[in-house]
């Protein structure tokens, strides 16, 4: 946990998540997609006891600046601050009484700021990298409550991985990913809660099922080899 001050942004985990969000957003991606990707890329931060709070603060602030603050993310930040868990962590890490008091002021100021909708969306800046996605699958569920997408992702022309997302109106998260450019992928909703994904033989999936990354009901995904 690299921390250099009491302000919300004064940590390595905040900076990494916040910058990661805008690296993707500034390349033309939606705030929802950027949110899902940073949750995936920085999952260790979000799950780490010392880095989790600052990671959620960074995500909430990035979403607030892009007028896309998810209710579940806001409530997560609200709980962290109101429960006093962040101040408890600071105390455990040896912070002085003055630092803890100043951190409390910074937390309350941050919560007050994101509790009011931002008047104007933060403008996209010229991207540092050329980030591109190639959409392979886009399927709306029979209940019209969620959308399943599969995309290949590239940075500066270099293939990164193929990622599958489940997006609800209030947010969403990563379902699985794999690393094989040009792989054939298709999908079919069996009903509103079951989805069959078909791909070529030999694909090794990394499945993501951490409920902290979802803002709605879960969908069972069945992997088939075609």
Task: Examine residue 2 and state whether it is found in any structural domain, yes or no.
Answer: no
Q: What is the mean pLDDT of the chain?
A: 85
Q: Are residues 176 and 97 in the same domain?
A: no
Task: Examine residue 121 and state whether it is found in any structural domain, yes or no.
Answer: no
Residues 8-35, mean pLDDT to the nearest whole number: 92
Task: Examine residue 27 and state whether it is found in any structural domain, yes or no.
Answer: yes
More confident residue, 52 or 128: 52
Residue 74 belongs to domain spanning: 12-114
Q: Are residues 162 and 83 in the same domain?
A: no
**Which of 89, 114, 139 is the last residue in one of the domains?**
114
For the cut 50, the answer to whether the pLDDT of residue 53 exceeds it is yes
CA angle (73 as vertex; 16, 47 as ends), nearest 5 = 55
Task: Examine residue 126 and state whether it is found in any structural domain, yes or no.
Answer: no
Q: Are residues 207 and 137 in the same domain?
A: yes
**Which of 114, 144, 159 is the last residue in one of the domains?**
114
**Which of 114, 142, 174 is the last residue in one of the domains?**
114
Alpha carbons 14 and 16: distance in angstroms, whole number? 6
pLDDT digits (tens, 9 = 90+) for 210-219: 443 444 444 4
Tally of domains within the chain: 2
pTM exceeding 0.85:
no
**pLDDT at position 218:** 47
Q: Which residue has tokens 């996605």?
A: 133
**pLDDT at position 207:** 58
């Amino acid at each position: 946990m690299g921390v250099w001050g009491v302000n919300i942004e004064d940590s390595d985990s905040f900076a990494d998540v916040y910058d990661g969000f805008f690296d993707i957003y500034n390349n033309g991606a939606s705030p929802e997609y950027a949110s899902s990707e940073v949750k995936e890329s920085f999952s260790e931060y979000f799950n780490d006891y010392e880095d989790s709070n600052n990671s959620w603060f960074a995500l909430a602030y990035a979403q607030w600046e892009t007028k896309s603050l998810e209710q579940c993310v806001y409530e997560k930040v609200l709980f962290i601050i109101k429960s006093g868990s962040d101040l408890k962590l600071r105390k455990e890490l040896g912070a002085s009484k003055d630092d803890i008091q100043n951190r409390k002021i910074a937390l309350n100021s941050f919560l007050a700021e994101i509790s009011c909708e931002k008047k104007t969306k933060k403008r996209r800046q010229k991207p540092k990298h050329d980030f591109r996605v190639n959409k392979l699958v886009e399927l709306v569920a029979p209940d019209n409550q969620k959308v399943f997408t599969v995309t290949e992702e590239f940075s500066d022309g270099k293939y990164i991985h193929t990622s599958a997302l489940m997006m609800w109106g209030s947010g969403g998260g990563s379902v699985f990913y794999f690393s094989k450019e040009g792989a054939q992928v298709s999908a079919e909703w069996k009903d509103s809660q079951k989805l069959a994904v078909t791909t070529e033989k030999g694909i090794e999936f990394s499945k993501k099922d951490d409920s902290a990354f979802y803002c709605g009901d879960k969908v069972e995904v069945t992997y088939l080899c075609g």
